[in-house]
């Protein structure tokens, strides 16, 4: 996990969807979705291809109408107050169109002019600010066609930041980027989080999401199968890896731990026996890393002594694979963590950002 500082929650959801559903003919692309994104979240929106991520984002932005349910952003229903909501969002859903022969800076000027931003000193300062945030200031005079793919993507984000939005929505921002470009976007997201923005990030790249996001939701076939705090989800996936000297010892350790699991060691989850690269027997115990010493003690009590014992960190990949592998239950209901306490409706209208003159 990164050490970015996330501003404290004030209890107000920036995005809240209630049973949000979209069907295209017979295909239910998004089903009964209850999402909750809090102020200051760097929220990872994960799911395999075709699981409904883009459809959800398009509904949140009012680009398509839901078949059922509703989306409330900043406390406002987007079916009724879309313009007020959109003023507070900077989004990139598809690669933005820029003029290839204009410089990065001139492209921003065109976008500002087209969106009715007052041209003047305030705008000039804002161009500099956003170009600094995306680290393109030194390339601002370069023609867009000479930008790398990563620079183009960052210019798109700069454009989305022009009006100083509170919520930044990025749909697969690292698609097609090389590793250096991916790292640039990661650093950029961390910078935006440091500026207090709420980020909604859809991505396939689990490692990236694990690095930058504090909360995630995982979609599968349009259903929400997991939503929660990244650290907590990772903790659930911690393991203790025990190497025994002999295969028989590993079998005996397995038998003992499985027995104790039903008794004093209820914190033990699934246990598996594998081999490491040297074909030595390994016991993989689903258990909190902090329980390593306890496991050692339990085995020693039965005259079994581990040759090596290591705690293994959880990974979002393990969380994701488990969540997306679950079979579809008839009438599958989304698994939603207990929502944060919603503050009084009055709180919802108090925190408006300044934004560039429009
Ligand atoms: N306009 C549309 N008409 C018909 N079906 C659609 C439409 N838009 C999306 N779909 C279908 O809805 C499902 C969800 O698509 P969506 O693009 O939301 O998934 P996604 O999770 O964003 O996938 P990807 O990661 O590949 O972009 C897919 O089966 C897709 O084919």
Query: What is the pLDDT averaged over residues 317-330?
Result: 71
For residue 55, give the ligand 1 atom closest to its CA: 18
**Residue 145 pLDDT:** 95
In this model, does residue 263 exceed pLDDT 90?
A: no
Query: What is the pLDDT averaged over residues 142-154?
Result: 94
In this model, does residue 77 exceed pLDDT 70?
A: yes
Q: Grade residue 108 by pLDDT with cuts at 50, 70 and 90.
A: very high
Which residue's CA is the nearest one to ligand 1's atom 4?
A: 24
Query: What is the pLDDT averaged over residues 49-78?
Result: 94
Cα(152) to centroid(ligand 1), Å: 25
**Residue 341 pLDDT:** 34
Mean pLDDT score across all residues of the chain = 84
- φ and ψ at 342, to 5 degrees? -85, 135
Q: Grade residue 356 by pLDDT with cuts at 50, 70 and 90.
A: very low
Which residue's CA is the nearest one to ligand 1's atom 24?
A: 49
Cβ of 207 closer than 6 Å to ligand 1, yes or no, is: no
**Residue 213 pLDDT:** 94
Query: How far apart, in whole angstroms, are the C-alpha atoms of residue 162 and residue 358?
Result: 11
**Residue 3 pLDDT:** 40
Cα(245) to centroid(ligand 1), Å: 51
In this model, does residue 337 exceed pLDDT 50?
A: no
Which residue's CA is the nearest one to ligand 1's atom 26?
A: 49
Cα(154) to centroid(ligand 1), Å: 25
**Residue 26 pLDDT:** 92
Which residue's CA is the nearest one to ligand 1's atom 1?
A: 24
Query: How far apart, in whole angstroms, are the C-alpha atoms of residue 111 and residue 183?
Result: 26
Helix (H) / strand (E) element for 121: namely helix 121-133
- φ and ψ at 312, to 5 degrees? -115, 130
Residue with the bigger pLDDT between 122 and 181: it is 181
CA atoms within 13 A on the CB side of 68: 10
Q: What is the Cα gyration radius of the chain?
A: 24
Query: What is the pLDDT averaged over residues 131-152?
Result: 94
Residue with the bigger pLDDT between 197 and 320: it is 197
**Residue 81 pLDDT:** 92
In this model, does residue 206 exceed pLDDT 80?
A: yes
Which residue's CA is the nearest one to ligand 1's atom 28?
A: 50
ipTM of the predicted structure?
0.97
């Amino acid at each position: 996990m990164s050490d970015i500082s996330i501003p404290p929650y004030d209890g107000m959801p920036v995005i809240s969807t209630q049973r949000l559903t979209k069907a295209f003919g017979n295909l239910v692309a998004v089903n009964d979705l209850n999402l909750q994104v809090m102020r200051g979240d760097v929220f990872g929106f994960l799911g395999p291809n075709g699981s409904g991520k883009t459809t959800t984002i398009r509904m949140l932005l009012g680009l398509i109408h839901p078949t059922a349910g509703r989306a409330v952003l900043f406390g406002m229903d987007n079916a009724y107050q879309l313009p007020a909501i959109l003023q507070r969002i900077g989004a990139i859903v598809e690669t933005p169109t820029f003029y290839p022969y204009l410089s990065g800076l001139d492209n921003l000027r065109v976008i500002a002019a087209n969106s009715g931003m007052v041209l003047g000193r305030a705008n000039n300062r804002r161009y500099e600010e956003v170009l600094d945030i995306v680290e393109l200031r030194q390339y601002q005079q370069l023609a867009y066609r000479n930008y790398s793919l990563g620079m183009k993507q960052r210019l798109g984000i700069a454009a989305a930041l022009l009006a100083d939005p509170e919520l930044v929505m990025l749909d697969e921002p690292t698609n097609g980027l090389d590793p250096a470009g991916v790292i640039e976007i990661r650093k950029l997201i961390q910078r935006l989080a440091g500026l207090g923005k709420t980020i909604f990030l859809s991505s396939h790249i689990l490692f990236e999401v694990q690095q930058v996001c504090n909360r995630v939701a995982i979609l599968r076939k349009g259903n929400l199968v997991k939503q929660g705090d990244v650290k907590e989800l990772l903790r659930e996936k911690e393991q203790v890896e025990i190497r025994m000297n002999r295969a028989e010892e590993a079998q005996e350790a397995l038998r003992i731990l499985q027995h104790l699991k039903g008794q004093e060691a209820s914190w033990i989850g699934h246990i598996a026996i594998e081999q490491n690269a040297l074909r030595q027997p390994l016991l993989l115990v689903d258990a909190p890393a902090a329980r390593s010493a306890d496991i050692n003690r339990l085995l020693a009590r039965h005259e079994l002594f581990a040759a090596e014992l290591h705690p293994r960190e959880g990974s979002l990949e393990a969380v994701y694979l488990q969540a997306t592998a679950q079979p579809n239950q008839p009438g599958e209901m989304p698994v939603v963590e207990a929502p944060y306490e919603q503050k009084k409706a009055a709180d919802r209208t108090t925190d408006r950002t300044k934004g560039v003159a429009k």
